[in-house]
Amino acid sequence: MSDETLSNLLTENRTFAPPADLAADANVKADAYAAAAADHEGFWAEQAGRLDWAEPFTQVLDDTAAPFYKWFVGGKLNVAHNCVDRHVAAGRGDQVAIHFVGEPGDTRSITYSDLKDEVSRAANAIEELGIVAGDRVAIYMPMIPEAVVAMLACARVGATHTVVFGGFSADALASRIEDCNAKLVITADGGYRRGAPSALKPAVDAALEKIDNATTAIVENVLVVRRTGQDVAWNTDVDVWWHEVVDESSTDHRAQAFDAEHPLFVMYSSGTTGKPKGILHTTAGYLVGTAYTHHAVFDLKPETDVYWCTADVGWITGHSYIVYGPLANGVTQVLYEGTPDTPHKGRWWEIIQDYKVTLFYTAPTAIRTFMKWGRSIPDEYDLSSLRLLGSVGEPINPEAYMWYREVIGGDRCPIVDTWWQTETGMMMISPLPGVTAGKPGSAMTALPGVGADVVSEDGVPVPNGSGGYLVLTKPWPSMLRTLLGDDERFVDTYWSKYKEQGWYFAGDGAKKDDDGAIWLLGRVDDVMNVSGHRLSTTEIESALVSHPRVAEAAVVGAADETTGQAVVAYVILREGASAGATGEELVQELRNHVAKEIGAIAKPRSIMLVPELPKTRSGKIMRRLLKDVAENRTVGDTTTLADAGVMALIAEGQKTST
Ligand code: WTA
C-alpha cells in the first residue's frame, strides 16, 4: 500500500453507529469487553458453555508448554453431535440447516434431521471403509452439501480431514495427500462452474498416479459423489461411489466423544517458503472460538436469521463460518455452488432475494467486482431482508466499504470487517455490530477475549497514530496448535519474533488511528493476497523454475484494482534452451505451467522475460524494486544492488511490453 493511500485511510473519519434496534437486541453488548479483560480464562470457560460436553474440562488453559497451548483440558465432546444431533434433540429437527443452490438451478433444502441422517450414514460408510479415529481424510469437492457432510462425518468418527480447494491442481493435491498421509480421498465426478461441468475426479486420479499409489498404497479408497454425471475413469480396487455406500448405510451412528485436543483438521496455507504449511486445529477450543465469534459478530438469531457466507469450504472461512461455527449455533444458511456471474451477473442478489438472506458474509474482491459491473444490477433485486454485512480476507478499502454499505446494505446494515487468519481459526479483530461505530476501512478493535496490539520491531506497542506489526498478545481457544509434523517451523514462524513477550506474530502490518482503532495494511512477508487467497511468492517461483525453459524467477504481488494484489513474475530463460515457443506464446505456456503445478488461482497476471534480476550483493532478490516496476512507480533505493544497471534494463523491458 502506498504512503498516499495510507494517509487517505487515516484521514477517513466517517463513522457509522449501530442501528438502534440491532444495538438494543444485540447478542453481545459493550460489557463483554470488560468482562473478558477482567477474567480471560473465565470468559472463555463461559463461552464453552455453548457446547454439549460429554465430559467437562478440568482446566481452561494449560500454558505450561507455551506456545504449545492446550485448551479445555480433560474435556471430551463430539463436534458433529454439537453441530447437528443436539439441535435435533432440542426439537429443531425440522429447521432447515442448508438451503443448497446448485449453479444450474437445482435446489435442495436440508433440515437438521436430514443432516443428522446424512452425516450418520456417511460416518458409517467411512468406518466401513476402514477409517478410524486419528486417520487422515482428504476432501476435494465442489460446493455441494456432501462436502459439508463429508467434513462432519470425519469429525464424527474422529478422523482428521484436510479439505483441498477444488481449484487446486493434481500436483498440489498430491503433495497434501502425501504430507498428511491421507488414507481416504472424498471427491466428486465434478461440479458446475461458469455454466458447465468442471471435472474433479481426473485430478484425484492424476494425484494418486503422481504419488505412485499403486505401489505405496497410501490412499486405500476414493469415495466419489456423483454430481455432474460426467464420465469418470474407474479403478475398482480403490474407487467407491458415494451413492452406493453412503445411501445404503444406516442412519444410526453413535458418536463417540473425543478429547478436547483431538486433531480436527489440517488446512494447508501458503507460507514464505515453497512448502505449504499444514495448519493444525483441534476439537474443543476451535469449536468454542468459532461458535462464540459467529454468535457475537453476526448477532445470529438462529430461529429467524438466514445466513450466507460465500466462501468455499476449501478455505478456512468455509471451515469456520460455513461449517463449524454456524452449525454449532444451529443456523439456517445458504450454500451456493457456482460463480457470481452464472447464468447472469445478478445471481447472488437473486439468491438473497429468494431466500430472504439476513446476514451476508463475503470478500472485498467480490465487492470490487460488483462495483465494476455497476449498481444497476443489484438495484434490480429486493435486498431489504439484509440486516448485517460482513467482509473478510483482505483490507476493505473505504470506496468498496461505502458501496457495500449503500448499494447492498441500503445504508441501514452495519458492516463487520473481520480480520483473522487460517492460523487463528476464528475472527480476532472486528466491530461488534451492536456496539461499535464502524469506520470504512478499519477492522476496529480486538473482539472480547482477544488481545491484539500494534508494536514496533523491538516489541514496544506503538502510540495511536503510528504503524507497526500486528501481534496477538493472549492465547485464544481456536489458535493453531502446530504445523503438522513441524513444531520447529511453528515456533519459528509465529512465536520467535516476540519470544520474550510471548506474543504471536501475525505477519501483517497495521496502524492504530487516533482513537486506537486498528487499520490492517497487508502482509509484511513474502505472502501475497490475491482475491483474498494467500499465495506464496516462493511457491510460485518454484513452480516457474520447474519449467525446463526457466533458469530463474522472481514473483511479486502488485496492487490490483479488483483482486487486491495480482501475481507478477519476472523470468530469466535458460541459455541455449531456445527450442519451443517464444514471446507471448511462451508466456502463456509458463502461465499454464503454474496453473498445472499449483492451480488456476496462482496463474501470474503477467510474466516478463528479463535478462537479469535485481539482487543484493549477498544474492537475495530485491522484490521491493520489482514491485515498484510492477506498480509503475519510480524505482526505490537501489544502493544495495550488486549491479545497478539491472533495474534500467527491466524497466525498459516493461515499457515495451505493456
Ligand atoms: C488478510 C482468511 C485485512 C491478512 C480468513 C491475513 C485481512 C490473511 C482481513 C489471512 C481483513 C484477512 N482485513 N486483512 N478483514 N482478513 N486478511 O489465512 O493479511 O486465508 O494475515 O485467512 O488475510 O489469510 P487466510
Q: How far, in Å, from the CA of 343 to the mean position of ligand 1?
A: 30
Nearest 10 degrees: Cα torsion 186, 189, 194, 195:
-140
Whether 534 shows a pLDDT value over 90: the answer reads no
**What is residue 484's predicted lDDT score, i.e. its pLDDT?**
97
Give the E-state strand segments of 393-537 in sequence order: 415-418, 452-455, 467-472, 482-483, 504-512, 518-523, 527-530, 533-536
Identify the pLDDT of residue 270.
79
How far apart are the CA of 394 and the centre of ligand 1, in A? 5
Q: How many angstroms separate the alpha carbon of residue 508 from the centre of ligand 1? A: 9
Give the list of residues 6+ apart from residue 14 with CB closer than 8 angstroms, or none. Answer: 398, 439, 440
Residue 421 Cβ contacting ligand 1 at under 6 Å: yes
Interaxial angle between packed helices 170-180 and 201-210, expressed in degrees from 0 to 180 and rounded to the nearest 10: 60
| Strand intervals (E) in 164-220 | 184-188, 190-193, 196-199
| Grid cell 438466514 in the structure block, residue | 306
What distance in angstroms lies between residue 564's CA and the mean position of ligand 1's atoms? 12
Is 629 close to ligand 1, i.e. is its CB under 6 Å away?
no
Detail the residues annotated as belonging to a binding site for ATP: 393-395, 417-422, 508, 523, 534
User: What distance in Å separates the CA atoms of residue 278 and residue 164, rounded to the nearest whole number?
Assistant: 11
- Between the CA of 265 and the centroid of ligand 1 the distance, in Å, is 19
Task: Give the three cell numbers for residue 658.
Answer: 505493456
Which residues touch 553 (CB under 8 Å, ≥6 apart)? Answer: 540, 541, 544, 545, 569, 570, 571, 572
Q: How far is the CA of 122 from the centre of ligand 1 (A)?
A: 33
Among protein residues, the one with the nearest Cα to ligand 1's atom 7 is 394
Any atom of ligand 1 within 6 Å of the Cβ of 508: yes
The phi, psi pair for 615, rounded to 5°, reads: -130, 155
Which of 534, 563, 601 is the best mutation target for the ligand 1 pocket, counting ligand atoms within 8 Å of the beta carbon and taking the most? 534
Query: Cβ(394) to ligand 1 under 6 A?
Result: yes
User: Does ligand 1 lie within 6 Å of residue 422's CB atom?
Assistant: yes
332: nearest Cα among 133, 104, 96: 96
Looking at 53-67, 428-442, 609-623, which range is the least confident one?
Answer: 609-623
Pairing label, strands 564-573, 606-609: parallel
By CB atoms closer than 10 A (0-12, 13-18, 19+), residue 65 is exposed
Give distance in angstroms: CA of 512 to centre of ligand 1: 17
445, 529, 563: residue to mutate for ligand 1 pocket, most atoms within 8 A of CB: 529
User: What does pLDDT average to over the chain?
Assistant: 93
From ligand 1's centre to the CA of 221, what distance in Å? Answer: 35
pLDDT of 164 higher than 80: yes
Average pLDDT value for residue range 154-180: 96
Q: Residue 393 is placed in which grid cell?
A: 480476507
418 lines ligand 1 (CB under 6 A): yes
Residue of 5 and 490 predicted with greater confidence: 490
With the most atoms of ligand 1 within 8 angstroms of its CB, the residue from 421, 439, 505 to mutate is: 421
190-209 pLDDT, tens digit per residue, is 999 999 999 999 999 999 99
Residue 6 has pLDDT above 70, yes or no: no
Beginning with the edge strand found earlier in the chain, give each strand of the sheet holding 263-269 in spatial order: 239-241, 221-225, 184-188, 136-140, 160-163, 263-269, 277-282, 482-483
Ligand 1 site, residue 316, Cβ cutoff 6 A: yes
Which ipTM was obtained for this model?
0.99
pLDDT of residue 1: 47
Question: CA 410 → CA 379, 403, 426, distances in Å?
Answer: 10, 10, 28
Taking CA atoms, 457 is separated from 231, 257, 497, 505, 623, in Å, by 56, 44, 9, 11, 21
- Pocket flag, ligand 1, residue 556 (CB < 6 Å): no
Domains of the chain: 20-450+491-496 (3.40.50.12780), 531-656 (3.30.300.30)
Give the Å distance between the CA of 374 and the centre of ligand 1. 26
Question: Cell numbers at residue 221, please?
Answer: 479408497
Instruction: Report the alpha-carbon distance of residue 405 to residue 388 in Å, rounded.
Output: 10
How much is the pLDDT for 578?
A: 60
* Residue 417 Cβ < 6 Å to ligand 1: yes
What's the pTM? 0.91
Residue 195: DSSP 8-state: T
Nearest 5°: phi and psi at 362? -145, -170
CA dihedral (365, 368, 370, 372) positive or negative: negative
Question: Could you give the percent of the chain with pLDDT greater than 90?
Answer: 82
Report whether residue 529 contacts ligand 1, using a CB cutoff of 6 Å: yes
Contact yes or no for 438/430 (Cβ under 8 A): no
Give CA angle at 471 (470, 473), nearest 5°.
150
Q: Reply yes or no on whether the pLDDT at 10 is more than 70.
A: no
Determine contact, residues 221/128, Cβ cutoff 8 Å.
Answer: no
pLDDT tens profile 554-582 = 999 999 999 999 999 999 998 776 667 77
Q: Using alpha carbons only, give the angle 201, 205, 206 rounded to the nearest 5 degrees.
A: 115
* Any ligand 1 atom below 6 A from CB of 478: no
pLDDT at 246 over 90: yes
Decide: 320 in ligand 1 pocket, CB within 6 A.
Answer: no
What type of residue is 183? Answer: K
CA of 517 to the centre of ligand 1 (A): 17
Amino acid letter, residue 286: Y
Q: How far is Cα 101 from Cα 108, in angstroms, rounded to an integer?
A: 7
Query: Closest ligand 1 atom to the C-alpha of 320?
Result: 5
Report whether pLDDT(658) > 50: no
The pLDDT of residue 615 is above 50:
yes
- Test site for ligand 1: of 508, 530, 531, 601, most ligand atoms within 8 A of the Cβ: 508
440 burial class (0-12, 13-18, 19+ CB within 10 angstroms)?
buried
* Atom from ligand 1 closest to the CA of residue 423: 18
Question: What tens digit of pLDDT does each residue of 319-340 get?
Answer: 999 999 999 999 999 999 999 9
Q: What's the pLDDT at 29?
A: 98
Alpha carbon nearest to ligand 1 atom 24, residue: 421
Residues placed in the known binding site for CoA: 193-196, 317, 531
The predicted model gives 254-269 an average pLDDT of 97
Residue 463: all three cell numbers together: 502510540
- List, as own/partner pairs, every contact residues 625-632 make where C-beta atoms lie below 8 angstroms and the sequence separation is at least 24, other chains included: 626/554, 626/556, 626/568, 626/570, 626/650, 627/556, 627/557, 627/558, 629/654, 630/556, 630/558, 630/568, 630/606, 630/654, 631/558, 631/559
Task: Specify the range with the lowest mean pLDDT, choosing from 219-223, 267-271, 441-445, 612-616.
Answer: 612-616
Mutate to test the pocket of ligand 1, among 279, 419, 423, 519 (most ligand atoms within 8 A of CB): 419
Distance of alpha carbon 162 from alpha carbon 137, whole angstroms: 6
Q: 523: Cβ below 6 Å to ligand 1?
A: yes
- How many A from CA of 427 to the centre of ligand 1? 10
Peptide bond into 145 cis (omega under 30): no
Distance 70 CA to ligand 1 centre (A): 24
585 CA from centroid of ligand 1 (Å)? 35
pLDDT of residue 7 exceeding 70: no
Cα(522) to centroid of ligand 1, in Å? Answer: 8
The residue whose CA is least distant from atom 22 of ligand 1 is 421
Length of the chain: 658
- Using the predicted structure, report yes or no on whether residue 153 has a pLDDT greater than 90: yes
Going by their DSSP bridges, the two strands 307-309 and 359-362 should be labelled as: parallel
Mean pLDDT of 303-308: 98
Whether residue 419 has its Cβ less than 6 Å from ligand 1: yes
- At 4, the pLDDT band (50, 70, 90 cuts) reads low
Decide: 474 in ligand 1 pocket, CB within 6 A: no
Indicate if ligand 1 lies below 6 Å from the C-beta of 596.
no
Q: What is the percent of the chain with per-residue pLDDT over 70, rounded to a whole number?
A: 96
| Residue 533 CA, closest ligand 1 atom number | 20
Residue 37 CA to residue 44 CA, distance in Å, equals 11
